[in-house]
Amino acid sequence: MDLSTLIGLVLGICMTLYGIISSGASVNSYIDPPSIIITIGGSLSSLLTSMKLPDLINSFKNGIKQAVQEPKNSDPKKVITQIIDMANVARKEGLLTLEETANSLDDEFMKKGLLLIVDGTDADLVRSILENDMNSMYSRHQVIIGMFDFWAAQGPAWGMIGTLIGLINMLKDLQDASTIGPNMAVALITTFYGSLIANWICQPIENKLKVNTDNEISIKTLVVEGLLSIQAGENPRVIEEKLKTFLPPADRASVAVGDEKGGEA
C-alpha cells in the first residue's frame, strides 16, 4: 500500500477545513447540496458523454487502485539483481534451466518474456511481443489518465456554469440589497467545488498515474533489455554494466551481485 496518496488527499481536505475555520466561518456554509449536484453531477455527465459507462467505471476503479497501490516489482535494483542472477544461471547451466525460474516468478511480464526465451523464440519476435505488451499497457493507462485529465477540466467548467446560473439569478433581481452577498456566496460555491475537484483530487491523481506509468515503462524496458541480453548469451558483467545505467549513479554501487558483493556494497 502506497500511503502517500491517501495521506495527501486527507491533508488536502484538512487544509481546506482549516482555511474555512481559521477565517471564522462555519463549515456548514460551505456545504450546499444543490451545488454539489451541479458541479459533480454536471462534470460526471460530461464524462459519461465522453466515454462508455463500463470504461468510465473501469478507469475510475483502476485509476484509484493504481494511485494507492504499491506497484509490484517497482524496485529496479531488485529487478537488476534478479536478471543478473538469471544470466549467471543461463551461462553456467544453459537457458533451459530458466524454465523453472520462470514458473516461479510473480511478475507476469518477466515470466512471459523468460518463457519465450526458453522456448527459443526468435529475438526480434521476443522484443516485438514484449514491446507490444508495454505499448498496450501504456495505451490502457493513457485512457485512465485521460479520464482524470478530462474530469480535472470539467470540474471547474461546471463550477463556472453553476456560478453563472447563480449570478444571473441574483442579478435579475437586485431590489433587496441584503440578499446580494449571500446569493453571490452561494453562486461562488460551485466554483469552489470545481477547484477542489481539479486541484485536490484529479490533477494530483493524474500526476501520480503518470509518474507510476513512466516508472513501470522504465522497469519493463529494463526487463526487455536484460532478457534479450541473456538470450544473446552476453557476459553477465556486461549485462550488469548495461542495466545499471537505468539506476541513478548513487544507487549503482549498491546493486549487490555475485562476485562484486564484497567490494561494492
Q: Which of residues 135-194 bind a copy of itself (CB under 8 A)?
A: 136, 139-140, 143, 146, 150, 153-154, 157-158, 160-162, 164-175, 178, 180-182, 184-192
Of the pair 102, 185, the CB lying nearest a copy of itself is at 185
Least separation in angstroms between residue 262's CB and a copy of itself is: 20
Of the pair 82, 141, the CB lying nearest a copy of itself is at 141
Give 191-247 as a DSSP string: HHHHHHIIIIIIHHHHHHHHHHHHHHHHHHHHHHHHHHHHHTT--HHHHHHHHHTTS
Q: Of the ranges 31-39, 82-90, 97-105, 255-263, which one interacts with a copy of itself (CB under 8 A)? A: 31-39
In this chain, which of 198, 219, 223, 228 binds a copy of itself, going by CB under 8 A? 198
Of the pair 104, 178, the CB lying nearest a copy of itself is at 178
Task: Enumerate residues 6+ apart whose C-beta is below 8 A from 51.
Answer: 59, 147
Least separation in angstroms between residue 194's CB and a copy of itself is: 10
DSSP state of 71: P
Task: Report helix, strand and coil shares of the chain as percent, to nearest 5.
Answer: 85, 0, 15
Asked if 31 is part of the footprint of a copy of itself (rule: CB under 8 A), the reply reads no
- What SS3 class is residue 105? coil
Asked if 196 is part of the footprint of a copy of itself (rule: CB under 8 A), the reply reads yes
Query: What are the grid coordinates assigned to 207, written together?
Result: 500526476
Of the pair 250, 262, the CB lying nearest a copy of itself is at 250
Scan residues 77-106 and list those touching a copy of itself (CB under 8 A). none
Q: Of the ranges 35-43, 77-85, 93-101, 256-264, which one interacts with a copy of itself (CB under 8 A)? A: 35-43
Q: How far apart are CA 19 and CA 13, in angstroms?
A: 10
Q: Residue 186 in contact with residue 166, Cβ under 8 Å?
A: yes
Scan residues 230-249 and list those touching a copy of itself (CB under 8 A). 238, 241-242, 245-249
CA-wise closest residue to 199 among 152, 149, 142 = 152
Scan residues 43-62 and list those touching a copy of itself (CB under 8 A). 44-53, 55-56
CA-based angle 63:65:69, to the nearest 5? 125
